[in-house]
Amino acid sequence: MGRYIISTMNCVNPQRKKMKKWIISTILAVSSLQTIAGDHYLSGKLSNIASSSSSLLIMMDKGVPDNCAGVSYNWMRVKKEDTVMVSMVMSMWLSGKKDLTVYTSALTNGVCYIYSIDPVFNQ
């Protein structure tokens, strides 16, 4: 009896093998997406602001996201057309509520552009 159980356990079901491959593939795909997702954002404190004729520049205490590595002096830009983000950063700076997360586009001609800002409200 024991020999029969062992021999049936070693028998490979093709359906089961396909399902196992699918599950492993799905897990690997999802885990690799999570790894890639982190290089375009950074959470920290707003440490400095400046302006130019075309944008508001911000600096964070933790540097820049990975996709902006090498940007000059760690300045990230909010385009002046993005008036809502410019207003939000200015109001955060003036109120002293400086915890935020920035989401950035990849470096373009040495410039790191912010496309979204997520303030932390429980400060």
Are the CB atoms for 76 and 57 separated by under 8 Å?
Answer: yes
Q: Is this model's pTM higher than 0.75 or not?
A: no
**How does pLDDT run across 11-21, given as a tens digit for each residue?**
566 777 777 77
Give how far the C-alpha of residue 58 lies from the chain's centroid of Cα atoms, to the nearest Å: 18
- Predicted confidence (pLDDT) per residue in 20-61, tens digit: 776 766 665 554 433 334 689 999 999 999 999 999 999 999
Q: Which ranges in the chain belong to alpha helices (H)?
A: 2-10, 14-37, 83-95
Task: Determine the pLDDT at residue 9.
Answer: 52
Please compute the mean of the pLDDT values over residues 118-123 and round it to a whole number. 81
Dump pLDDT digits (tens) for 69-120.
999 999 999 999 999 999 999 999 999 999 999 999 988 899 999 999 999 8
Tracing tokens 């989401």 back to the chain, one arrives at: 103
Running DSSP on this structure, what letter comes out for residue 108? B
pLDDT at residue 15, rounded to an integer: 77
Q: Which residues contact 67 (CB under 8 A, 6 or more apart)?
A: 39, 40, 104, 105, 106, 107, 112
* Residue 59: partners with Cβ closer than 8 Å, 6 or more residues away: 46, 47, 48, 49, 50, 73, 74, 75, 76
**What does the pLDDT read at residue 36?**
38
| Distance between CA atoms of residues 3 and 108, nearest Å | 67
Residues β-bridged to residue 60: 46
